[in-house]
């Protein structure tokens, strides 16, 4: 019995207009009722729409976040006992749990933990256990007696021994849809949501951390990157073995690799004990690399827990060439550790890694003969060690040989043989091949890459496609200035952008030095985009060398579309703006915790969205950490397809977020307007959203509620992510149930812990919508319990009418794999051949024509009319707050001193 009511949620959008949909046959015109109350999104904007538009918008699906808005009042008349459970008690409880999908996906130790946390509730006859409309907090199973289910005063059923009820409370906060009360004296085993989630989380978090440490300790797997390790952690299996049990037998075929987590095992060959192995040891690694027979027998001495990884699981997670993956990772590590190669770009590094050739050597083989010319080859040791013949100098795995000589003209020879010390694998490449990969001589390319890395950190240039930046670097030249020589004067025309290569320069205004900048700092960048005069004089503070990029060269390589995009980014970087500079135009939306307004700069007339949260609500709902987290996340994200935070403010009344104003339609409405997509259009939106997720995941940010309602299609037809109320910084895994039921990944629902894989599942649900017009699981369901059950238990299937040859189906099958391993990183997803034709730089610079351009009405007249209104910003906001329907309770957690300093 999933006793939770569906609460309708307000629509979420920053779009000023939500058009009415005319077509009644469009597949997107279906019931998308809000499944759950959105409790934590700080800005759930509810538009002031016409009645028809409100009716349409109410069909959007709301999100769920963990909160604490309902007081636990269930079984309040019960005598609660924390008593030991008999074997029979545990058997009966286990049988009751087995009837619910929530528990079916839990491991044995998870089940044991749940049972151990259950307490005995004793109630007299005719006692209410919970009431319709009350807060759902507990799950119960009947040990003795009977209970009745009552709806609107009518008995709907009788529950006896072994029956259970209230399971949905373990998933999330919701309201009970019926009343349950005792008929006789009853004894119930019960557990509350908090205890249930803590029991699951503590075990799974401990297991995850232990497994991660084990993975990192195995030499075979040490060089896997974070995404690859996460993929393996998702497919590792726990196995328990009793003493005397054989794990593997000599001569048998094998496909499993084992790591010992606990216990002791014997390793024997032909009956002879070779060694004993214990915690942290591993065996069977050859099974992952080759289809070979077991070379020894492993027998358990004491009860043992082993982690196992099968070749099939490995293939699902990483592909079928583990050794190749490990060697490529080893090459990358060696290149990045080299003092002369560490400044190579990612593209140059990948080109080298893909083109190096591997050679194998046995003990004492000569790898590099005496007399070999220096500077003609690059070698990387990926397995084993090399040692020089006379001086006994050792080169370990991950060492580069010949890298230093590549940075200078070829000169001299190797004076000693370098021999293999054991079995050795070497990756090698000729100088000619190396220079072909990096695009020229190493010394010149390194200098160019140094400029490139600096330019990539220039705020103005961050949004430029990488290839455009590379082209600009080729136009950069060096100029020298003597001590006190003026580089340019205040009020002079801006004609170039400068980066300090060596030395220092002074920034001077009104004959006073306002600051001094040094190596790798830059100045004059706004002049290459804006037609403005210099705002200060810059002069050399001692001898100085600067890199120079002229305005003409910049504009010759950047088209008008990119220039306009950069101009918009400049407009969003005004850190001098204050609340007094802003005039409120109108209310955009109202949410549970805050309001969103359209504001305009009094001088520039640039529009902004300003979100406001009163300090009374911050205190009442304990929003301190949520606001700080949201600010932190928004400041970390700087991407053309993510709504940008301009600045935050505070005063005695409230906290303010000043953000980019995004005009457009939310993707939910666009989908209903354009209908089912073809392959090309679906790929455009999937690729755009993938770049957004990649940007966030690189910063350890998980979004957790990706869906069409949280994406606006802007005036250029590109998707833009707008709402960060559910986002979280996660290193490793998190366990909170957050999101919208139809879009939740299996690992989120089960509480086993999740990372970025959950976001890629959401993307898969959206991709399915693009080509099918419905969500893949529970499309016609509103009750969360039914939706979750279908996500966990139903197989992925496509409607009969869908063309099965669509290429988008292949990427959907990866994104909606119930096993998170195939969707555990951006690297794995982007490596799918579905994306082979995608030009990622063109997406970031918005150079690809979008499939759909929304019609956006001008707001110029609204701004003009608003500017004539003399009402102040704070008065306008206070007036709207007075109309809020939600009464702010007087309770609340008082703030800690200085909590709002970052604002």
571-589: pLDDT as tens digits: 777 778 899 999 999 998 8
Do 323-442 and 465-557 agree at the fold level? yes
Q: Once rounded to an integer, what is the mean pLDDT over residues 465-477?
A: 81
Of 509, 740, 876, give the one whose Cα is nearest residue 34: 740
- Mean pLDDT lowest among 49-53, 345-349, 385-389, 549-553: 49-53
pLDDT of residue 668: 93
Mean pLDDT of 860-879: 86
3-class DSSP state for residue 591? coil
**Which 8-state DSSP code applies to residue 808?**
H
> Tokens 């933990």 identify what position?
113
Determine contact, residues 470/452, Cβ cutoff 8 Å: yes
pLDDT at 40 over 90: no
**Beta carbons within 10 angstroms of residue 197's beta carbon:** 18
Active site residue 705: yes
Owner of token pair 């001193």: 897
B/e letters for 158-180, b = 16+ CB within 10 Å, e = fewer, are: ebeeebbbbbbbbbbbbbbbbbb
Across residues 501-524, what is the average pLDDT? Answer: 89
Residues with Cβ within 8 Å of 120's Cβ and at least 6 positions away in sequence, in order, are 80, 81, 82, 83, 143, 187, 188, 189, 190
* Contacting residues for 293 by C-beta, under 8 A, at least 6 apart: 251, 252, 253, 254
Binned at pLDDT 50, 70 and 90, residue 38 comes out as very low
- How far apart are alpha carbons 644 and 721 in whole angstroms? 9
Q: Which residues contact 842 (CB under 8 A, 6 or more apart)?
A: 465, 848
Tell me the residue length of the chain.
Answer: 903
CA 218 – CA 204 distance, rounded (Å): 21
Task: Indicate if the pLDDT at residue 22 is higher than 60.
Answer: no
**Rounded percentage of the chain residues whose pLDDT exceeds 70:** 90
Within a 10 A sphere around the Cβ of 374, how many other Cβ atoms?
16
User: Is 611 a known ligand-binding residue?
Assistant: yes
- The pLDDT assigned to 771 comes to 95
pLDDT tens-place string over residues 246-281: 999 988 888 888 889 889 999 998 889 988 999 888
d(CA 521, CA 449): 16
| Statement: residue 48 has pLDDT above 70 | no
According to the model, what pLDDT value does residue 58 have? 35
Contacts of 119 (CB under 8 A, 6+ apart): 80, 81, 82, 83, 189, 190, 191
Q: What is the pLDDT of residue 210?
A: 84
Better-predicted residue by pLDDT, 252 or 70: 252
Mean of per-residue pLDDT scores for the chain: 84
Answer yes or no: is pLDDT of 89 > 70.
Answer: yes
User: What is the distance between the alpha carbons of residues 378 and 430, in angstroms, rounded to a whole number?
Assistant: 6
The least confident of 80-94, 208-222, 403-417 is 208-222
Residues 387-419 pLDDT 10s? 998 899 999 888 999 999 998 888 899 999 999
CA angle, 56 then 58 then 63, to 5°: 135
Residue 521's pLDDT is what? 85
- pLDDT band of 207, cuts 50, 70, 90: confident
Does residue 612 carry a pLDDT above 60? yes
Q: Which tens digits make up the pLDDT trace of 629-682?
A: 999 998 888 888 999 899 999 999 999 999 999 889 989 999 999 999 999 999
- Class in CATH terms, 465-557: mainly beta
Note the pLDDT tens digit of each residue in 733-784. Answer: 898 888 899 999 999 998 888 999 999 999 999 999 999 999 999 999 888 8
Domain boundaries, the chain: 79-199, 323-442, 465-557
Class of domain 323-442: mainly beta
Beta bridge mates, 272? 269
Tell me what pLDDT residue 171 has: 83
Residue 593 clears pLDDT 70, i.e. is over it:
yes
Distances (CA, A) of 338 to 328, 384, 400, 402: 16, 18, 7, 10
Per-residue pLDDT averaged across 66-87, rounded?
75
pLDDT for residue 379 is more than 90? yes
Q: What is the pLDDT of residue 62?
A: 61
Q: Please give the Cα distance from 705 to 684 (Å, whole number).
A: 20
Who contacts 627 (Cβ-Cβ below 8 Å, separation ≥6)?
A: 42, 613, 618, 655, 903
Please tell me the least confidently modeled range out of 56-65, 405-414, 597-606, 856-865: 56-65
Across 61-70, 470-479, 707-716, the highest mean pLDDT is recorded for 707-716
| pLDDT score of 6 more than 70 | no
Which pLDDT score, from 0 to 100, does residue 797 have? 94
φ/ψ of 583, rounded to 5, equals: -125, 130
From the list 849, 848, 809, the residue with the least C-alpha distance to 832 is 809
pLDDT in tens, 816-830: 999 888 888 888 899
pLDDT value, residue 708 = 94
CATH superfamily of 79-199: Jelly Rolls (2.60.120.10)
> What pLDDT, in 10s, does the model give residues 130-174?
999 888 999 999 999 999 999 888 999 999 999 999 988 888 878
CA 328 → CA 505, 715, 726, 835, distances in Å?
43, 42, 36, 21
Contact indicator for 748, 737 with CB cutoff of 8 Å: yes
Q: Residue 64: which pLDDT band, with cuts at 50, 70 and 90?
A: low
> Per the residue annotation, which of 553, 705, 759, 817 is the catalytic one?
705
Report residue 471's pLDDT band, with 50, 70 and 90 as the boundaries.
confident
Query: Residue 224, SS3?
Result: coil
Mention every residue, 6+ apart, whose C-beta is less than 8 A from residue 74.
Answer: 129, 130, 134, 135, 136, 137, 138, 166, 169
pLDDT value at 874 more than 50: yes
β-partners of residue 666 are 712
């Amino acid at each position: 019995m999933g006793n939770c009511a569906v609460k309708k949620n307000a629509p979420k959008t920053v779009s000023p207009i939500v058009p009415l949909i005319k077509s009644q046959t469009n597949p997107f015109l279906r019931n998308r009722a809000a499944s759950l109350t959105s409790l934590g999104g700080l800005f759930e904007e509810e538009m002031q729409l016409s009645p028809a538009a409100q009716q349409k918008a109410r069909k959007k699906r709301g999100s769920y976040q963990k909160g604490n808005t309902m007081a636990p009042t269930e079984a309040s008349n019960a005598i609660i006992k924390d008593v030991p459970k008999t074997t029979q008690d545990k058997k009966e409880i286990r049988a009751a749990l087995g009837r619910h999908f929530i528990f079916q996906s839990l491991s044995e130790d998870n089940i044991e933990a749940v049972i151990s946390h259950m307490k005995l509730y004793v109630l007299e006859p005719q006692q209410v256990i919970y009431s319709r409309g009350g807060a759902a907090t507990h799950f119960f199973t009947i040990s003795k007696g009977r209970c009745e289910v009552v709806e609107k005063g009518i008995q709907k059923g009788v529950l006896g021994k072994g029956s259970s009820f209230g399971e949905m409370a373990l998933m999330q906060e919701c309201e009970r849809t019926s009343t349950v009360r005792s008929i006789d004296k009853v004894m119930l085993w019960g557990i509350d949501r908090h205890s249930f989630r803590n029991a699951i989380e503590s075990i799974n978090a401990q297991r995850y951390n232990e497994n991660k440490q084990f993975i990192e300790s195995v030499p075979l797997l040490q060089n896997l990157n974070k995404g690859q390790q996460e993929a393996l952690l998702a497919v590792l299996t726990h196995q328990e073995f009793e003493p005397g049990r054989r794990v593997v037998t000599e001569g048998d075929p094998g496909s499993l690799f084992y790591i010992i987590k606990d216990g002791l095992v014997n390793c024997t060959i032909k009956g002879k004990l070779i060694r004993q192995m214990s915690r942290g040891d591993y065996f069977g690694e050859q099974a992952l690399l080759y289809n070979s027979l077991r070379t020894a027998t492993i027998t358990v001495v004491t009860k043992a827990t082993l982690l196992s990884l099968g070749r099939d699981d490995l293939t699902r997670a990483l592909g079928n060439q583990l050794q190749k993956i490990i060697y490529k990772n080893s090459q990358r590590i060696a290149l990045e550790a080299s003092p002369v190669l560490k400044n190579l770009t990612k593209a140059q590094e990948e080109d080298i890694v893909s083109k190096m050739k591997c050679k194998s050597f046995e003990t004492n083989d000569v790898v590099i003969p005496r007399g070999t010319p220096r500077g003609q080859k690059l070698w990387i040791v990926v397995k084993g060690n090399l040692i020089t013949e006379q001086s006994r100098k050792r080169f370990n795995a991950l060492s580069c040989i010949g890298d230093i000589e590549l940075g200078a003209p070829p000169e001299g020879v190797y004076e000693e043989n370098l021999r293999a010390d054991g079995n050795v694998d070497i990756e090698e490449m000729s100088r000619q091949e190396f220079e072909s990969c990096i695009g020229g001589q190493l010394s010149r390319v390194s200098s160019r890459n140094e400029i490139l890395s600096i330019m990539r950190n220039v705020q103005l240039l961050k949004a430029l496609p990488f290839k455009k930046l590379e082209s600009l670097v080729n136009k950069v030249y060096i100029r020298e200035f003597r001590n006190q020589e003026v580089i340019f004067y205040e009020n002079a025309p801006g004609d170039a952008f400068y980066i300090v290569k060596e030395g220092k320069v002074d920034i001077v205004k009104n004959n006073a030095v306002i600051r001094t900048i040094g190596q790798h700092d830059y100045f004059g960048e706004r002049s290459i985009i804006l037609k403005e005069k210099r705002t200060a004089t810059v002069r050399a503070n001692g001898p100085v060398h600067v890199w120079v990029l002229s305005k003409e060269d910049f504009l010759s390589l950047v088209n008008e579309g990119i220039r306009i995009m950069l101009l918009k980014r400049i407009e969003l970087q005004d850190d001098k703006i204050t609340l007094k500079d802003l005039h409120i135009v109108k209310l955009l939306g109202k949410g549970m915790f805050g309001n969103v307004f359209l504001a305009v700069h009094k001088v520039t007339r640039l529009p902004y969205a300003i979100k406001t949260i009163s300090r009374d609500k911050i205190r009442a709902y304990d929003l301190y950490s949520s606001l700080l987290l949201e600010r932190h996340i928004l400041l970390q994200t700087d991407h053309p397809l993510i709504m940008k935070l301009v600045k935050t403010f505070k005063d005695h009344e409230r906290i303010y977020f000043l953000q980019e104003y995004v005009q457009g339609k939310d993707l939910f409405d666009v989908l209903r307007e354009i209908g089912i997509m073809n392959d090309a259009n679906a790929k455009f939106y999937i690729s755009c959203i993938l770049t957004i997720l990649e940007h966030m995941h690189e910063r350890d940010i998980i979004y957790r509620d990706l869906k069409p309602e949280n994406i606006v299609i802007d005036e250029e037809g590109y998707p833009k992510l707008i709402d960060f109320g559910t986002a979280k910084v996660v290193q490793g895994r998190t366990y909170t149930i957050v999101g919208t039921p139809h879009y939740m990944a299996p690992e989120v629902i089960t509480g086993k812990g999740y990372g970025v894989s959950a976001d890629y599942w959401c993307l898969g649900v959206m991709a399915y919508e693009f080509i099918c017009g419905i969500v893949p699981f529970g499309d016609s369901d509103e009750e969360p319990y039914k939706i979750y059950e279908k996500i966990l238990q139903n197989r992925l299937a496509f409607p009969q009418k869908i063309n099965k040859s669509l290429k988008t189906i292949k990427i959907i099958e990866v994104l909606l794999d119930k096993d998170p391993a195939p969707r555990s990183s951006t690297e794995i997803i982007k490596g799918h051949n579905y994306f082979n034709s995608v030009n990622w730089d063109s997406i970031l610079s918005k150079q690809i024509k979008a499939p759909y351009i929304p019609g956006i009405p001008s707001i110029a007249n609204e701004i003009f009319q608003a500017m004539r209104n003399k009402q102040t910003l704070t008065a306008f906001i206070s007036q709207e707050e007075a109309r809020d329907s939600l009464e702010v309770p007087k309770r609340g957690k008082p703030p800690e001193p200085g909590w709002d300093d970052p604002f």
